[in-house]
Amino acid sequence: MPIQTFVIPHSHMDVGWVYTVQESMHAYAANVYSSVTEELSKANNRRFIAVEQEFFRLWWDTVATNSQKKQVRQLVKTGQLEFIIGGQVMHDEAVTDLNDQILQLTEGHGFLYETFGVRPQFSWHVDPFGASATTPVLFALTGFNAHLISRIDYDLKDAMQTDKKLQFVWRGSRSLKKQEIFTHTMDQFSYCTPSSIPFSNSSGFYWNGVALFPDPPKDGVYPNMSLPVTKETIHAYAQTMVDNIKQRAAWFRTKHVLWPWGCDKQFYNSSMQFKNMDPLMNYINQNSKDFGVTVQYATLSEYFKALHDSNLEWETRGSEDFLPYSTESHQAWTGFYASRNILKGVARQASSKLHAAETIFTQYRISFPDGPVAKDWALDKLKALRWAVSEVQHHDGITGTESPKVANMYMQHLSQAMMAVDELLAALFLLPHRLSPHDIFSTNYQTKGRVQEAREQHIIVYNPLAWNVTTIVNFTVNFSTAAVFDDNGKSVPAQIQPAAYSNTTFDLFILVELGGLQHRKYTIQFSEKGGSVAGDRGGTYKARKVSFDRKSVQDWTKTGRRLLPVINECYKLMFDQDTNLLHSVTYTEDKRRVRIKQDFWEYRANGEIKSGPISDNYIFTASSTAARAYGAVGMEIIPGTIVTEVRQFFYKNKSDKDHAFSITTRVPECYQSKVRCHRLQQSYSVGPLQLNTETVLRTTTSLRNNKTLYTDDNGYQMMKRTYKEFDNNTLARNYFPMVRAAFIEDDQSRLVLVSDRAHGVSSQGDGQIEVMLHRRLWNNSPFNLGYNLTLNDSSVVCPTLWMIMGSLNATTKVYHREAIEMQHRPVVMAIDQPKKPLQTQARHRLPVPTVVLPPNLHLLSFSIPGWNYSSNHTAHIKQIEKDQKHAEVNYDRVLLRIMHLFEEGEDPELSKAVTVNMKELLKGLGEVRALEERSLTATWDSDTLQRWKWKTAEPSQTQNKTTEPKDKFTVTISPKEIRTFFVYF
């Protein structure tokens, strides 16, 4: 039986990497879809897969003619053009957050379903740098039938090829056992057609050559084209192709071979491509007996269907992932976990702001369907931020592996969209009846730069979580004394103190109590008089700092003699006055003391390629072990009634005027309030760094963790990271991505770090956990210089980590929630003193309901997507066939997702399935009249979603799922489940 080859035409189009999206659209991306549409229409055996939706949507909305749109609809209908993945981008899998992966998939899927009535069912994750176990879980929940990956560790791939184990059924979640997915790993040739052809030139099977930036050639002739297929060359081409097909076939169990035809920026001149490949494939098929191979153009679904029909039994893989990823012994792709720290932070802030704005707008629409905030105007602002947040999830976006101008593009898109959403938030909170948005912005709402001048300041604080929270919010003010009152006129506990990096401003801390999805107004009255505004704890405490002498590392002969305690209800922190470093933490729950030291260390990177392996945007290759990054430490402590702040300043030399790094630790003073006393908030200042330096925060403890570390996969599940020894590059190959959380533990205690952005993290010694916070690199690699990928990042970065210490049981109960509270901190909006008293406007504005979920459930999404499709598939397809005009946007359909935070068996109580009545749960917002359960991206009705079943050696275990209650509004959510609904009020 001949080898059956599925030739899959595709173009890998990075949504930003070396060139901006706009440059790529102009140079080649628009041409890909115009030319492919024309060429597929000429012959019905031709195929093409479209992957990244951002480029397709830009083409569809700004370039495609009516005639081309008609052709595309026909090609989609006949299956010649197939949408794969369907997300806005091919997202990174190491440093992206679960929320944002779901968002970018939902954005793309909503567009495809609304426009064509199609729902992607396969993935094509050919280029992310390593593969996470969360991605296949999400793809299964979305309704995909198979998953495709490529970049996994080189030595592992070699072994899997040899043993024919590149294909398996992946059970990515330990708890969601039903959500398994067939996974195909691309062989060593990855997603590009082999380019080495002895008789032709280096572009191989790419007759259209290479894309030209900034402008395509006027005559359509591109450089570096392979020899055309002629009578003289056809046999040599065929033999080369057949040899490669047979080489690949030896690594797989069936006679079906996936042969990707394409690479980066291909098919912009697809007439040239098909004109040469058509006769070549005909020639092979005419001589298939001699060659032992048949070839056909195919989509991915045709390949996977052939595999599925083979009815083979497949091995299973558990919830382990394929991170980190190395391409060879000295090339560990673990540097990008920390590249462009600022971009990673802004991307996460934008995601949080989007979540807050979505929930506020949804509440507003339910309460005031005819309210004064124009719904189209509001949705446009939300859509722009959805687009920007989706775009930056690209595997050369949030990873920090792009050129500086592309990083600037992402930052610009995120910043502009966030500013627009700030306008929306202002309107939703402040707009009374009969006022236009223009009136509100010119009178009541001002930007942060101007609010400090008034003697009375109003702020609105909003809790975007469906839990009650009591927390501390802080911001900078210009006055040294302030009194704070809530919306009932009651005095609010507050604290004011000198700001860390300014002699003229002050930090004001306010204790706020907010219900789920609730906002409250606070009034601040400023004064320049000294002393506390109120002496008791109900007023504002004026905190003063105590400074300690700077200590040189050279003088650390006797340490641990003079320990200074900072105590709250959860901890006793001891600071060593001989070093000005943290010495130990005792957690009062068990009265157990753990030795802890925190400081900064640096790895030096090689910048000369002749001298050995280099570090760059992608790769971390330390030239040696880390060295201490400072020579002296200064300290200030500001004891307070709301928070005690410890400021540590790290200097390169004792005599330096300016510090190189700092740690600010805020210890909450809880005094019988509901503030979480176990949350030690730390913010850092790092940079600018010296060139070819990679800086880590190292926390050294007395825990006996044997260098074993736990880090999260995309904020969804924790993975155990056992330290491994390698012949080369052991240090870099034991770095892992930390998206939301990481911890080390021994039999008794656990130290958890929760982050506000992605970092690289490692345990390089027993009891150690180090977080890479910043990198600045330059090397003379021609590739990096040619594409400007040298990461000469001279910025100062200011990330935040929360540290939690305690027993295993106690920390298990809190760290999931802490990670989400870090992600979705209260939104604080400063407003001018309104011209009318607040009370008179209150009845016109958003009411303040509360929605409170059980502590193990999280409201993942609560938004109005604004799609116009019918949720009945048959009705939607009829509407598309009838006319392709857009129907009215549906503003009454609410997209709601609820997620269970815990794994099966993780906690005796919190790991139990939870039953909630949605009518009851959401009654504060309005009356729920209908509830429809949907797939993860909402395009499938859950009752009609039937995924392919793949035979496995170990049959799938039945899900431990509680029987669903008969009441249609009551749902049961099992450990790690994400349930998605359309809700109608």
Q: Give the closest residue to 907 by CA, choosing from 787, 808, 982.
A: 808
Q: Cβ of 626: how many Cβ atoms within 10 Å?
A: 18
Q: What is the SS3 assignment for 715-762?
A: CCEEEEECCCCCCCCHHHHCCEEECCEEEEECCCEEEEEEECCCEEEE
Token representation of residue 441: 């912005």
The 3-state DSSP class for residue 930 equals strand
CA pair distance 467, 943, nearest whole angstrom: 30
Token representation of residue 897: 């997702």
The 3-state DSSP class for residue 138 equals helix
What is the bridge-based pairing of β-strands 759-762 and 768-776?
A: antiparallel
Q: CA dist 925 to 414, 432, 852, 888, Å?
A: 30, 20, 11, 24
- CA quadruple 875, 878, 880, 882: dihedral sign: negative
CA pair distance 10, 243, nearest whole angstrom: 21
CA pair distance 385, 383, nearest whole angstrom: 5
Q: Give the closest residue to 274 by CA, choosing from 590, 612, 481, 41.
A: 41
Q: Where are the beta strands (DSSP E) in 901-957?
A: 914-917, 930-934
Residue 929 gets the label, from left (phi > 0), alpha (psi -120 to 50) or beta, of alpha
What does R_g of the chain's alpha carbons equal in angstroms? Answer: 29
The 3-state DSSP class for residue 460 equals strand
Residue 919: CB partners within 8 Å, gap ≥ 6? 927, 928, 969
701 beta partners:
596
CA pair distance 146, 125, nearest whole angstrom: 11
Is 127 a residue of the active site? yes
Residue 465: CB partners within 8 Å, gap ≥ 6? 516, 517, 820, 821, 824, 858, 859
Residue 608: CB partners within 8 Å, gap ≥ 6? 614, 779, 780
CA pair distance 576, 561, nearest whole angstrom: 8
* Cβ pair 120, 109 in contact under 8 A: yes
**In the chain, count of helices (H) and strands (E)?**
21, 44
Dump the DSSP string for 2-21: PEEEEEEEB-B--SSSSS-H
- Structure-token match 């406007």, residue found: 841
CA pair distance 718, 732, nearest whole angstrom: 20
> Residue 495: which H helix or E strand, with range?
strand 494-498
Q: What is the SS3 assignment for 154-201?
A: HHHHHHHHHCCCCEEEECCCCCCCCCCEEEEECCCCCCCCCCCCCCCC
CA pair distance 546, 544, nearest whole angstrom: 7
What is the bridge-based pairing of β-strands 978-984 and 893-900?
A: antiparallel
The 3-state DSSP class for residue 442 equals helix
Q: Give the closest residue to 679 by CA, choosing from 541, 821, 558.
A: 821
**From the candidates 14, 127, 321, 507, which is the catalytic residue?**
127
Residues belonging to the active site = 127
